[in-house]
């Protein structure tokens, strides 16, 4: 296997982003869920040979951020920089492989925001007016009266503030027809289908012009045309997807990677990303992103995780229990990325022990231990093909895995592939290599059994690499696999020399936290 490449030759680009996060509090497990899902997709695309650019970042021009800094007696920018260190520490701990991290206080971002504002303004889509209505300070969103639930913000269950102030407006209503036409012609623009239907219904019910500035605020990007106003935080934040590519500056990254292939966001901000953002881009004559994927929410023992509600789990604490790779796998295995899902520590612990420790970990350690014990750590290189019992199940699972991965159906991809791991464990029980090892005439069959098991383990190492990058690299290294591509799987021949008994990949854990 030496000499082949784990990453295939570069083919074409793939630009993926996550939502940028407010830094008024540290990231919780729900935030980490989004980043892990996007990271798995980025790693999968890299593994398929794409020149992948993965963007994350922090949304710093928020009134909530300024208020939090004030509470702590810190300069707001100083506070933001300190929080950036904390955010990046969590992402590093979870092996999130972002290529760039944008801060909305960076000069490159400020310049791009001013550039896109000027472009939209020059097109005649910005005007001055009066805003009278409701504003939720927690989500920093203008809310129409019809969207309130019992007079409260539907997201935060808080009473919004009634405001009456002079603002600058973006003529969103003028993009009602163009947006609808674009979305209907490009059904992959909004995923999953449920979110597509929601957005189409919102547009068909009529769009209103939106406020894009706040007056009398000292934290934010001043309007280029009126310094008494700052640009509304959402208009500012959405621009991060192109400011990170130096839109309006040198343009090299922008020319290479835009339009984005995929924005990964939470389902609660689809209106911003699937209505306001594309309308802004249309107004600025910028190509629209190819797809927006709105993932569901995690709930903890039946209740949605929320900073406001105070029922969040700290990813650093959970990582101590399961390890980064274990946590990454468990979240995406347990909860379909396109739907809401409930977790509990008991459920995660049970799945960890059942699947990672008992099935995958046991398959690897058991196979390696038997090869060491019965064949002195050496399996002659030989053919693994359709005549091999595990070959067809492996090929079928691999095909399903690829299909589900492209659609970001991570739990289904893992489920379809996991059947091979379970099949391989049954294969050991059926073939009983410990009996063959005692029969001098059974050595040839013994070699063939272990070649098939090695083929499953090699394929597993590559297939599961986006989910568990550190553990799978360890397993592949033990199997003496340095270079292999996804397209070359399943391997048509396998063998190994000098295998030694490995340490457990996934030691069992106690059911407490």
Q: What is the pLDDT of residue 6?
A: 44
Spatial distance between the Cα atoms of 325 and 401, rounded to a whole number of angstroms: 19
- pLDDT tens digit string along 454-499? 999 999 999 999 999 999 999 999 999 987 888 889 999 999 999 9
User: How many whole angstroms from its chain centre is CA 390?
Assistant: 32
Helix axes 76-93, 63-71, angle to 10 degrees: 100
**Residue 433: CB partners within 8 Å, gap ≥ 6?**
370, 374, 446, 449, 450
Question: CA 51 to CA 9: how far, in whole Å?
Answer: 9
SS3 at position 383: strand
The answer for residues whose C-beta is within 8 angstroms of residue 170's C-beta and 6 or more apart is: 120, 125, 126, 209, 210, 211, 212, 235, 276, 279, 280, 283
Asked if residue 290 belongs to a domain, the reply is no
- pLDDT value for 484: 82
In a domain, 287, yes or no: no
Position 64 scores a pLDDT of 87
Q: How far apart are CA 67 and CA 55, in angstroms?
A: 27
Inside any domain, residue 401 = yes
Are the C-beta atoms of residues 47 and 465 closer than 8 Å to each other? yes
Hey, is 103 helix, strand or coil?
strand
How far is residue 110's CA from residue 115's CA, in Å, rounded to a whole number?
9
* Residue 132: per-residue pLDDT: 67
For position 399, which CATH number holds?
1.10.730.10
Q: Is residue 485 part of a domain?
A: yes
Q: Which residues of 47-67 are buried (b: 16+ CB within 10 A; e: fewer)?
A: bbbbebbbbbbbbbbbbbbbe
Give the domain extent around 486.
Answer: 345-496
Contact 377, 371 (CB under 8 A): yes
Per-residue pLDDT of the chain (513 residues), as tens digits, is 333 344 444 469 999 999 999 998 899 999 999 999 999 999 999 999 999 999 999 999 988 899 999 999 999 999 999 999 999 999 999 999 999 999 999 999 999 999 999 999 999 999 999 876 677 666 666 666 667 776 777 676 776 676 678 889 999 999 999 999 999 999 999 999 999 999 999 999 999 999 999 887 889 999 999 999 999 889 999 999 999 999 988 779 999 999 999 999 999 999 999 999 999 999 999 999 999 999 999 988 766 655 555 556 889 999 999 999 999 999 999 999 999 999 999 999 999 999 999 999 999 999 999 999 999 999 999 999 999 999 999 999 999 999 999 999 999 999 999 999 999 999 999 999 999 999 888 889 999 999 999 999 999 999 999 999 999 999 999 999 987 888 889 999 999 999 999 999 999 998 764
Cβ atoms of residues 94 and 327 within 8 Å: yes
Q: For residue 152, what pLDDT is reported?
A: 74
Beta pairing partners, 493: 383
Does the predicted TM-score (pTM) go above 0.85?
yes
Task: Say whether 167 sits in a helix, a strand or coil.
Answer: strand
pLDDT score, position 51: 97
Number of separate domains in the chain: 1
Q: How many CB atoms lie within 10 A of CB 171?
A: 18
Is residue 197 included in any domain, yes or no? no
443-463 and 362-375 helices, crossing angle to 10°: 150
Give the whole-angstrom CA distance, residue 280 versus residue 286: 8
Residue at 380 is within a domain:
yes
User: Looking at residue 513, what is its pLDDT?
Assistant: 46
R_g of the chain, CA atoms, integer Å: 26
Q: Does 159 reside within a domain?
A: no
Residue 55 lies inside a defined structural domain of this protein: no
- Contact between residue 458 and residue 491 where contact means Cβ atoms under 8 Å apart: yes
In angstroms, the CA 222 to CA 449 distance is 69
Which helix (H) or strand (E) segment holds residue 29: the answer is helix 29-47
């Amino acid at each position: 296997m030496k000499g082949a490449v784990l990453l295939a030759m570069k083919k074409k680009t793939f630009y993926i982003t996550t939502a940028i996060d407010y830094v008024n509090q540290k990231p919780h497990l729900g935030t980490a869920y989004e980043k892990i899902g996007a990271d798995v997709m980025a790693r999968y695309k890299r593994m398929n040979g794409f020149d992948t650019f993965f963007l994350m970042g922090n949304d710093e021009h928020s009134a909530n951020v300024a208020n939090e800094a004030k509470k702590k007696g810190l300069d707001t920018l100083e506070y933001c920089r300190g929080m950036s260190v904390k955010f990046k520490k969590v992402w590093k701990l979870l092996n999130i492989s972002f290529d760039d991290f944008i801060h909305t206080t960076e000069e490159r971002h400020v310049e791009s925001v001013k550039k896109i504002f000027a472009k939209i303004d020059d097109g005649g889509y910005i005007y001055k007016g009066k805003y009278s209505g409701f504003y939720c300070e927690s989500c920093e969103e203008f809310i129409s009266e019809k969207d309130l639930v019992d007079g409260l913000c539907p997201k935060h269950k808080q009473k919004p503030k009634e405001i009456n102030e002079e603002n600058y407006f973006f003529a969103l209503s003028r993009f009602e027809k163009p947006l609808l036409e674009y979305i209907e012609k490009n059904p992959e623009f909004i995923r999953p289908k449920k979110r597509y239907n929601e957005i189409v219904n919102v547009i068909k019910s009529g769009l209103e012009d939106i406020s894009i500035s706040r007056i009398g605020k000292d934290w934010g990007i001043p309007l280029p045309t009126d310094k008494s106003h700052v640009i509304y935080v959402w208009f500012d934040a959405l621009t991060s997807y192109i400011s990170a590519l130096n839109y309006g500056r040198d343009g090299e990254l922008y020319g290479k990677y835009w339009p984005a292939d995929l924005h990964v966001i939470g389902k609660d901000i689809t209106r911003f990303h699937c209505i306001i953002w594309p309308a802004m881009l249309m107004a600025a004559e910028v190509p629209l992103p190819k797809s927006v994927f709105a993932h569901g929410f995690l709930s903890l023992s039946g209740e949605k995780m929320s900073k406001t509600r105070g029922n969040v789990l700290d990813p650093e604490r959970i990582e101590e229990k399961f390890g980064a790779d274990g946590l990454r796998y468990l979240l995406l295995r347990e909860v379909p990325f396109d739907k809401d899902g409930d977790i509990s520590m008991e459920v995660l612990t049970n799945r960890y022990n059942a699947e990672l420790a008992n099935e995958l970990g046991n398959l690897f350690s058991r196979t390696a231990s038997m090869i060491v014990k019965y064949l002195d750590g050496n399996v002659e290189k030989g053919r693994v093909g359709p005549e091999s019992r595990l070959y067809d199940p492996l090929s079928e699972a691999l095909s399903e895995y690829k299909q589900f991965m492209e659609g970001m159906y991570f739990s289904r991809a893992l489920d379809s592939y996991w059947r091979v791991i379970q099949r391989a464990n049954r294969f050991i029980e059926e073939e009983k290599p410990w009996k063959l090892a005692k029969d001098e005439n059974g050595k040839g069959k013994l070699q063939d059994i272990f070649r098939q098991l090695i083929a499953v383990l090699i394929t597993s190492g590559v297939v599961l690499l986006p989910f568990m990058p550190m553990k799978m690299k360890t397993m592949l290294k033990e199997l003496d696999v340095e270079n292999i591509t996804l397209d070359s799987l399943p391997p048509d021949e396998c063998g190994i020399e000098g295998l030694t008994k490995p340490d457990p990949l996934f030691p069992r854990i106690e059911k407490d936290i």
